[in-house]
Structure 1
Amino acid sequence: MPTLEELLKKHGVTPMENPSSGPRAKLLNQVNRMLTEIENYEDAGDMNADNAKFWWAPQSVNGKRKVTAKYGGRAVDNLSTYVDDSVSAVKSILQSYRAIIEDSDDATWASEEEKRNS
């Protein structure tokens, strides 16, 4: 009989964070939101926007799109890169970011927490 935690993981569901949850949980929640959002996109034009409310830049530059991890309204240092301006490339880097975040713990993000609390 699978546990609830195993079922949540299998189906890609992250329990809703609460304000006291750590940076890893916040980042996982955010990356999963980005992956859910981009799932309905069909081409690069769907990623264009008037503002940068998502992890991908609202416009491409020279055929590349910047993707930056964020939480608490701020970019995460050193977790930003340029990929080809395609939905599949952005989705792929988001999946890579999620794997990195899953392999981390709150201590990994200690400097980010300090930046947000100062």
Structure 2
Amino acid sequence: MTVYFTKDHEWISVEGSTATVGITDYAQAQLGDIVFAEVPPAGTAVEKGKEAAVVESVKAASDVYAPVSGTVTEANGELEGDPALINTSPEREGWFFRLELSDPSELDGLMDADGYKAFVDTL
């Protein structure tokens, strides 16, 4: 399993042609207490760099962008009843959706963990 990160603070964990997407710990900390998350249902086609989900906190609403293109295979239904999972476990139980990659080469422009940490250190 390989994990990548975007400059918009999404993470994507890839295993074969399947990927799981969520927001980073840095992103959830900036948002504050998450009160709502809207995730795409299975069957939704998402496009790299385009809005794929929405997260709302007591501070603001934010779009979550698709790190890669693909078709959603599973939405995290736990978030509907417990959106705070995004705060308590953003990079594990607080994932947003899983997808089947349509173009694995889109992973090439994403950061690894060290690159993302260096990026966040500049903010």
Q: Same fold (TM over 0.5)?
A: no
Which structure is higher in helix share? Answer: 1
TM-score, scaled to structure 1? 0.30
TM-score, scaled to structure 2? 0.30
Bigger Rg over Cα? 1
Which structure is higher in strand share? Answer: 2
Q: Greater relative contact order (Cα 8 A, min sep 6): structure 1 or 2?
A: 2
